[in-house]
Chains A and B, each alone.
Chain A
């Protein structure tokens, strides 16, 4: 079955720093989704990507659909304390497959 490898596993950064995380798939995806999950909550959709090479922003968040269609990247600029949570990549469609998540901690 499809597998997603997400890295890094966790990050502990200083407030104001930029953050980068990525996700790779064992197979080609037609859609990449990025979710954020906070304690006690369900995942919240941040960004959806539909085309290879696509670069999409949502505020301080920017995500890219890799040109090989087997990877995706998420960047967060100028991190703030409320960015804390677990970030998941997912794809490719109705039967979503999720990565294991990147735990983000921000030190203020």
Chain B
């Protein structure tokens, strides 16, 4: 039973560029959430997708957008990258309404 997978593992971009991160949920899960984890901090909620729509959103600007596909996989897009966007981006999957979320290994984004 495959867990949550994310790609790529690492990514280096320059300021102003755009980036797309990908996530495949755990088998049987239909809901995907994205989190940003800055160095030395706990993860912060970005948004959650279910049935290909954004259901909830945290305190992140519109530069952060996402998408969910019919197979439940998801993408996180960040436009006009800033140095402060450097972080570990985590994807978590769950069943809709379930409190427990299962995390992938993350994508380490470095913005230069």
Contacts of B40 in A (CB 8 A): 100
Which residue from chain A places its CB closest to the CB of B42 in the assembled complex? A98
Q: Given known contacts A48-B100, A94-B99, A96-B33, is B4 in contact with A42 (CB within 8 Å)? A: yes
Closest to A1 in B: B59
Cα separation A100 to B55 with both chains bound (whole Å): 25
Q: Mark A89-108, 1 if CB is under 8 A from B, else 0.
A: 01011111111110000000
What's the tally of chain B residues with a CB closer than 8 Å to chain A?
27
| A40 contacts the other chain (CB 8 A) | yes
A to B CB contacts below 8 Å, 16 in the list:
A1-B59, A4-B42, A33-B100, A43-B103, A45-B103, A48-B99, A90-B42, A92-B99, A94-B55, A94-B97, A94-B99, A96-B43, A98-B44, A99-B42, A100-B40, A100-B41
List residues 21-42 of chain A with CB under 8 A from any CB of chain B: 30-31, 33, 35, 40-42
Restricting to A64-108, which residues have a CB under 8 Å from any CB of B? 88, 90, 92-101
Q: Report B's interface with A, CB cutoff 8 A.
A: 4, 31, 33, 35, 40-45, 48, 55-56, 58-59, 90, 92, 94, 97, 99-106
Q: Determine whether the beta carbon of B59 is less than 8 Å from that of A96.
A: no
B105 engages A94 (CB within 8 Å): no
Contacts of B55 in A (CB 8 A): 94
Residues of B within 8 A of A6 (CB): 42
Report how many residues on chain A are interfacial, defined by Cβ distance under 8 Å.
27
Contact code string A1-22 (vs B, CB < 8 Å = 1, else 0): 1001010000000000000000
Nearest 10 interchain pairs by C-beta? A98-B42, A42-B103, A31-B99, A43-B103, A42-B105, A42-B106, A95-B45, A95-B56, A98-B43, A48-B100
- Is the Cβ of A44 less than 8 Å from the Cβ of B103? yes
